[in-house]
Amino acid sequence: MFSITIILFLLLILSVIAYSLLRKKQIIGDPPNRLAGCLFIFLLFFSLCFAIAVQCILLYIVVLGVNFLFEDYITYESFFSLISFSLFASVIAVFWSPFLLFIGKGLAYLLKLPSWLTYALEWVSSWIVLYLSINYILHINLVNVSIGDYGILILSFFVSFIFIEIDLVYSRMKQRKQSLNTQKSS
């Protein structure tokens, strides 16, 4: 519980820093009052918490699925240790994902890659981030979770595959909605 409180406090500090940088770079204007500024900080905080919670829950479900399908590749002491493992791995992955996403999108734009290759590059970068974050959490022995021989590869593969599929479905729905809007306006 102490680690969750520290993570929430760090996310709140990160939200304040992000708000300060956005104001300093004049990406957002002056708020009408202090309440609006505080609400925007809490919106950033909630967005970060939501991104971490979605990945944490997905990682937890995939761990249970991998254990069901492959017969106890992942062993854990208690429910709390598995939740802590998912939370720490998600925090590290969410922290490093924007950097790799920026690099991947930049390379795709500069090299004029087709969309299928862009999605493959995004999948590989998300797989690398998840693999390294899970490996790091297991290496520092922060939680009582152990993963078998190829368990980290299997776990990171399934989670990154699910995320890229969610992204593909969302982008197709968005494209379909845009095409329907353009057909209605013509």
Phi first, then psi: what are they for 149, rounded to 5°?
A: -50, -65
How many Cβ atoms sit within 10 Å of the Cβ of residue 137? 23
Average pLDDT, the chain: 82
Kindly report the length of the chain: 186
Mean pLDDT value of segment 114-141: 83
DSSP 149: T
Decide which of 185 and 58 is more confident.
58
Residues 89 and 58: their CA atoms lie apart, in Å, by 11
pLDDT in tens, 35-50: 888 888 899 899 888 8
| Cα–Cα distance for residue pair 88/90, rounded to 1 Å | 5
Is the pLDDT score of 22 beyond 80?
Answer: yes
pLDDT in tens, 144-171: 888 877 778 888 888 888 877 777 787 7
Whose CA is closest to 76, among 56, 60, 91?
Answer: 60
Spatial neighbors of 151 by CB under 8 A, at least 6 apart, are 66, 70, 73, 74
pLDDT of residue 61 exceeding 80, the answer is yes
Smallest Cα–Cα separation from 18: which of 34, 41, 38? 41
